Amino acid sequence: MFISSEDAPPVLKNFTLVMPAVAVGNVGQLAVDLIVSTLNMSRVGYIHTDCLIPMAGNNPYTTCKEDAEVLHTPAEVYTSAELKLAVLQIRAPIIQTKSKKFRQQLVSWIKASGFSRIVVLSSSHAYQRDDQQLQGTPLRYLVTPSLLKMSADALKELGWREMEQLPAFPELTDANAKPWLYIPGAGITKGLYTDSCKEDLPLAVLLLFCSEGDNIPDAFTLVNHLNDWLHLLDNQSQEPNSKWKIPASWNLLFGSGIPPALF
């Protein structure tokens, strides 16, 4: 599944892996863009799979003419050896009938790589929140039992709010009804979290309730939330969003503008 860009495959053991879920507003993917661009991370390989819609394009993190036309693919891996950080960026939708297969491939690669923890950045439909989810912060987290053993104190200190489990049938007042995890619009988030619980993987999900539209502010909110935990960037007195470097690919995030010939 993982194809190295170099002759010798990178050693990722004990690295932290950050990856997005393809979800509403593409918030996780935009947040990952900010991480890769700001930390100037190096591409070390890509994920070869038939589970993603095939695509190719120019370098989304180009800084000069020389590297602008380097070919990039739907799922690539970047690393920062200094921070012991790996990032998997997913740029294409998952083929609906191959969602389970893709999760299995991810879990297999994660186990083989020996990551110390995995963080999935995701989002969920704001309009489908339960009454209790309308109050307070739109940010939520989930953590597997394996990671909770290692990070319980850190998560408690952060004071984050865990994703609520909702009643399966809200209109029924059955005390024996078992609540369930409901994350609409979040793609493979719930499935990957469930798989990781079964496989005893140290995985956390950070998600944001949002709506489709201009989701750049949501991406900044999510990546700053992640930085509070992982400390990827030093906390400075400057405006929080200004410390993140916007990649070149965002110049065309909403298309190329209105042609003057229309007027």
Q: What is the CATH number of the domain that holds 50?
A: 3.40.50.10900
| Mean pLDDT rounded to a whole number for the chain | 88
Expressed as residue numbers, the domain containing 51 is: 2-253
Q: Is the pLDDT of residue 237 over 60?
A: no
Domain contains 260: no
Q: Is the pLDDT of residue 114 over 60?
A: yes
Tokens of 164: 């609520």
Can you give the pLDDT at residue 172?
61
Domain contains 197: yes
Q: Is the pLDDT of residue 78 over 90?
A: yes
For residues 258 and 154, which has the higher predicted lDDT (pLDDT)?
154
Confidence of residue 10 (pLDDT cuts 50, 70, 90): confident
User: What's 247's DSSP letter?
Assistant: P
Confidence of residue 179 (pLDDT cuts 50, 70, 90): confident
- Please state the rounded mean pLDDT for residues 233-254: 76
Domain contains 259: no
Tokens of 171: 């209109």
Structurally, how many domains does the chain consist of?
1
